[in-house]
Amino acid sequence: MINFEFKNPTKIIFGKGEIAKISREIPQDARILLVYGGGSIKQNGVYDQIQEALKAHTVYEFAGVTANPEYETLRNAIAVIKEKDVTYLLAVGGGSVIDGVKFLSAAAGYEGDPWDVVKKPVRPQEGEGIPFGTVLTLPATGSEMNSGYVISRKETNEKLGAGGPGLFPQFSVLDPEVVRSIPKRQIANGIVDAYTHVLEQYMTEPSSADLQERFAENILISLQQHATKLMEPEFDYGAAANFMWCCTMALNGLIQKGVVTDWAVHAMGHELTAYYGIDHARTLAIIAPAHYRYNLETKKEKLAQYAERVWGIAEGTQEEKANKGIIKMEQFFHSLGIDTKLSDYVADYQDTATRVKNAFINRNWMGIGEYKRITPQDAYEIVLRSC
């Protein structure tokens, strides 16, 4: 097991009806900025629950944070924070809104150019940023219990990840009832997003971190087990609760400790979103199987273990099991209505592999993924196989 440090101070408040508790978590004298996206929280009742909970607090609002939260939008929020002397941020939404609020927490009290805090992700240390909490309305990214965020800047065509030990939410409310009104397409995306988060921290060379590997496998199994009920028209609270908790546990730091991680699927997937606007989760479903087939030699043992423990495949050589595991993975994505080939999404995909390769070279990304072994040429081969 590799040496590691683990600290995650976020308070999780989990369950039906728990949104009301935010009034207790935010100081009575706080000047709160409620940050949200496009207004779905006004349809699903979450907005009303928050207004009710905070009726004795001072609350300002900032709406309009988009998916892949944009710097240009968030800059306007910084102006509101300064104007209203905001002392507490409340993110109500999915990963994009929460990521946006993390940026605001880091940037609002910073004297220089706000973009600095994204480029030099050492800020904020604990206690430096504006404190914030979240009410999660879309399980997927795990942002509600980690300290990382991703921000896009249109004017420079940058999409950067940052974070720091001061950017854990003080609290996050996870009420599985919010899943009731999420469109199935987004639920499917959430399942695949969380599933791939786990794969990126698991599908590597063998580690000796047995417990972490098993926990990773459990999250995969639990996502698979609840997927069918989640995709059915009728709402199932138990399935929603397990789904929600799986998404959080998939990226709260626990399963990445003591192991080597990969994240090559995300690096390549991001390009497909950039070129074609394909949903983030779907790009992961396109890249992952091709990535694992191309890297079968280094990942064979873990792929076979995945096939055995996650899918119960007992027969065959290690290589046969590994290949069966990848097929099972594809079938799982298909069962959610998610296609796994780029050509299923775009007609004009022929030069994609070359574009990805050149993009990586231009950015000086000479090696990505586990031990930075995936070269731009490897990325070319993988994307080619994903078409």
Applying CB under 8 A, the residues found at the interface with a second copy are 1-18, 176, 208-212, 214-215, 217-219, 221-222, 225-226, 238, 241-242, 245-246, 249, 257-258
Q: Least Å distance between CB 73 and a second copy?
A: 31
Closer residue to a second copy (CB): 60 or 215: 215
Q: Least Å distance between CB 336 and a second copy?
A: 18
Sign of CA dihedral 162, 163, 169, 174: positive
Report which of 286, 291, 217 is spatially closest to residue 255, judged by C-alpha positions: 217
Report which of 85, 84, 83, 79 is spatially closest to residue 107, judged by C-alpha positions: 79
Closer residue to a second copy (CB): 61 or 128: 128
User: Rounded CA gap, 199 and 181, in Å?
Assistant: 28
Structure tokens belonging to residue 36: 């949200």
Structure tokens belonging to residue 139: 């399980």
Closer residue to a second copy (CB): 259 or 290: 259
User: Rounded CA gap, 326 and 307, in Å?
Assistant: 8
Q: Least Å distance between CB 314 and a second copy?
A: 11
Q: Least Å distance between CB 356 and a second copy?
A: 35
> 133 pairs with which residues across the strands?
90, 171
Look up tokens 């609840």; give the residue: 226
Provide the 3-class DSSP secondary structure of residue 96: helix
Structure tokens belonging to residue 102: 């993390």
Closer residue to a second copy (CB): 11 or 385: 11
Closer residue to a second copy (CB): 259 or 382: 259
Other Cβ atoms closer than 10 A to 268: 28
Which helix (H) or strand (E) segment holds residue 153: the answer is strand 148-153
Burial of 277 (0-12, 13-18, 19+ CB in 10 A): exposed
Closer residue to a second copy (CB): 18 or 128: 18
Closer residue to a second copy (CB): 118 or 259: 259
- What letter does residue 374 receive in the DSSP assignment? B
